A and B are shown apart, each in its own frame.
Chain A
Amino acid sequence: MWWFRQVRAVFVKDWRTELRTRHALHTIALFAVSTLLTVSLALGPAGVSAETRTSTLPVILWIILLFAAAAGLPRCFVAEEEGHTAAALRLTAAPSAVFAGKCAFAVALLVGLELLLTPLFLALMGLEIADAAMLVTALVLGALGLGTASVLVAAMVAQARGRGALFPVLSFPLLIPLLLLAVELTRGAVAGSLPPGVAEQLLLYDASLIVAGLMLFPVIWNP
């Protein structure tokens, strides 16, 4: 119980500081929307031809989400180091609780972003969804993995030089399986059929990242 109270405290604290400055919220939302508008504009009024739509558009959606996460999420630990609040956080909460709280914050932020971006994306690109439940599964599981990996890498990057540039370099190789699986699942949602086992593999990827994170985060967090 004590652990869950700590997790909730970290989560609430992160939202409170976020709502005061709205730095990550604005960065992520504006980045995603302006990228989407650029892509849509560059494709022109006709968009992507009907034959290639199913295979290409899910890739664009996930690339936008990945880059938006890379633009906004590293803040969550850099701000702690720069504001010198990291030491206080180390003293007051268990490392695994910090990890879980930060993950909950990052995942909530990403799900919020998806709620904003996905309808816009579907409308602008003229993409029809055959299986809405599968799309929701892809978005939720994708956000879970993306948020967890981002928190782990952000905690490492906050202790290094060249923080902004380092985050994508470190996180993208880790996220390649997630991205490929999420794209495949989204394609399945558009087409209405899916090769078996994709959602299970994405869930397994998320679970192994979370378990590895709970074990490794204390090593990253405590100098």
Chain B
Amino acid sequence: MKTLLRWSLWLWIALCIVGAFLYAPLAEGFVGQSSRILFFHVPMAWCSFVAFITAGVHAIRYLARRDPAQDRAAEAAVQLGLLFCVLATVTGAIWARVMWGAYWNWDPRQASIVIVLVFYAAYLVLRDAIEDPSTRARLASVYAVLGLVVSPFFFFVLPRIVEFTLHPDSVINQRGSVDMESRMLQVLLAATVGFTALFFWLHRLQIRISTLRMHRESEELVS
């Protein structure tokens, strides 16, 4: 059953890649083939969002129940979230070079993703600096929750500093409508589903790795 699921995930993502290049049409008003980055950049940004929410939920659960497994799940989610976040930032910057002429121009989206990157990198640095496992889990969870408290302020603050954004509309924009050619939308939604499944699969693998590593370390201590 697991093997079947894994193979169908691989097939699904392969189909998304093929669909992104052959099935979906190009969007109007974009340089060359650059609009195809949509099918990879948006799911990556979405996945990092899902990952950090997952990490926050596990951190709160850890603080409520003090179950070390929850803390390992939060750490794994942050690691993967950072990976997807870096990928989204880099693909976004490359696309910005093609479309806007500069890799970086402090567009509100670029500003917010960089602040998120710095915050969760600090979370991992904090973990590295504490040796005792229960202290590490406790303080890292507190820091993750503090991040959830502070982050809403960026929604007020950043748009005022740079009033305009060149970033294309979100799929669901402020008008509440979906302005996208239907084949593009199909591929985008399929890719988003595929990437989300990929994230949860990687998340489970990462938790298994850290659990095994912990068991090995405790066995080494005993022997």
Interface set of A (CB-CB < 8 Å, partner B): 152, 156, 159-162, 166, 169-170, 172-174, 176-177, 180-181, 184, 195, 197, 201, 204-205, 208-209, 212, 216, 219-220, 223
Interface status of B142 (Cβ within 8 A of chain A): yes
Some 7 contacts from A to B, beta carbons below 8 A apart, are: A156-B142, A170-B125, A180-B157, A201-B156, A205-B153, A216-B142, A219-B141
Q: Within the complex, which residue of B63, B130, B146, B161 is in contact with A159, where a contact is CB–CB below 8 Å?
A: B130
- Bound-state CA distance A92–B150 (Å) is 31
A-B contact sample (20 more), CB < 8 A, given A205-B150, A216-B145: A152-B146, A156-B126, A156-B139, A156-B143, A159-B130, A159-B135, A162-B129, A170-B122, A170-B125, A170-B143, A172-B118, A173-B115, A173-B122, A180-B157, A195-B160, A201-B153, A205-B153, A212-B146, A220-B138, A223-B135
Q: Which residues of B contact A219 (CB under 8 A)?
A: 63, 138, 141-142
The closest CB in chain B to the CB of A180 belongs to B157
Interface status of B68 (Cβ within 8 A of chain A): no
Closest Cβ–Cβ distance, residue B187 to chain A (whole Å):
35
With A159-B139, A160-B130, A169-B122: A174-B147 Cβ-Cβ less than 8 Å: yes
- Bound-state CA distance A181–B118 (Å) is 19
Q: Which 6 A-B pairs have the closest CB atoms?
A: A177-B153, A173-B119, A160-B129, A212-B149, A160-B130, A156-B139
Say whether A184 contacts B160, CB under 8 Å: yes
With A170-B122, A173-B115: A161-B130 Cβ-Cβ less than 8 Å: yes
Closest Cβ–Cβ distance, residue A74 to chain B (whole Å):
13
Q: Which residues of B contact A160 (CB under 8 A)?
A: 126, 129-130, 139
Say whether B146 contacts A201, CB under 8 Å: no
Interface status of B30 (Cβ within 8 A of chain A): no
Interface status of B131 (Cβ within 8 A of chain A): yes
Q: Which residues of B contact A173 (CB under 8 A)?
A: 115, 118-119, 122, 147
Q: Which residues of A contact B150 (CB under 8 A)?
A: 174, 177, 205, 208-209
Say whether B149 contacts A208, CB under 8 Å: yes
Say whether B153 contacts A216, CB under 8 Å: no
Interface status of B154 (Cβ within 8 A of chain A): yes
Closest Cβ–Cβ distance, residue A78 to chain B (whole Å):
13
Say whether A212 contacts B145, CB under 8 Å: yes
Closest Cβ–Cβ distance, residue A55 to chain B (whole Å):
11
